Amino acid sequence: MRILLVEDDDELGPAIARALRAEHCAVDLIADGIDAAHLGETEAYDAAVLDLGLSGKDGITVLREWRAAGRALPVLILTARDGWSDKVAGFKAGADDYLVKPFRVEELMMRLRALVRRAAGHAQPVLTCGPLSFDTQIGHFELDGLPLKLTAFEWRVLSALMLRKEAVIERLDLLERVYEGDADVDSNSLEVIVGRLRRKIGADRIETIRGRGYRLTCGGAGS
């Protein structure tokens, strides 16, 4: 997952970013509401974690602008404001979830995974594709019932393919979900990651659609 994290606390923001990266997420950390509004409208993210008390533009204004621009990315508001009126304002502006500080990172991660899964159209937490299974609640892959060991980049690519199994995912779309905004990306890096995944799950599981991107195929059973 690629997450837009909008948090202006100098200690909390980097701490959350580190925790999300430890769970294989690509994270763009932004502290200013104006920059957040722009990135949320122009970049591809699987979800956003949005604080309310921001400089430049407050979180509610940022969220309203995203929704007015037609941006449907799942948004979880993360704030110290626990009043009922604040929650109502957040949901009316278009929030999908609301978490009050202080919080456990494990809960934040599980809520984000659930938002991304539902946005992709999956009601059940465990997705299957042939012999491959993905427990979206804990971010765990298995192949033929055995744990599948993946690097962070491999996890990001495979989770994106799994959430949209049997559909073609454009190459640029995958790249945007694998790397953070300031990353120096080699033009062949995605092909290298896909090659490693094919060796781990089977070469015929990931199809190359020439001129477009990739598709995870399930081969009937378990799809």
What pLDDT digit, counting tens, does each position of 132-164 carry?
Answer: 999 998 899 999 999 999 999 999 999 999 999
pTM higher than 0.95: no
223 has a pLDDT exceeding 50: no
DSSP label of 96: S
DSSP label of 8: -
Residue 19 confidence class, pLDDT cut points 50, 70, 90: very high
> What's the burial of 171, exposed, middle or buried (CB within 10 Å: 0-12/13-18/19+)?
middle
State the average pLDDT over residues 42-56: 92
The predicted-structure confidence for 167-211, as pLDDT tens digits, reads as follows: 999 998 888 878 776 666 666 888 999 999 999 999 999 999 998
At 164 the pLDDT is 93
The predicted-structure confidence for 108-140, as pLDDT tens digits, reads as follows: 999 999 999 999 899 899 999 999 999 998 899
What are the helix (H) ranges across the chain?
12-22, 33-42, 59-68, 84-93, 105-119, 152-163, 171-178, 189-201
φ/ψ of 74, rounded to 5, equals -60, 135
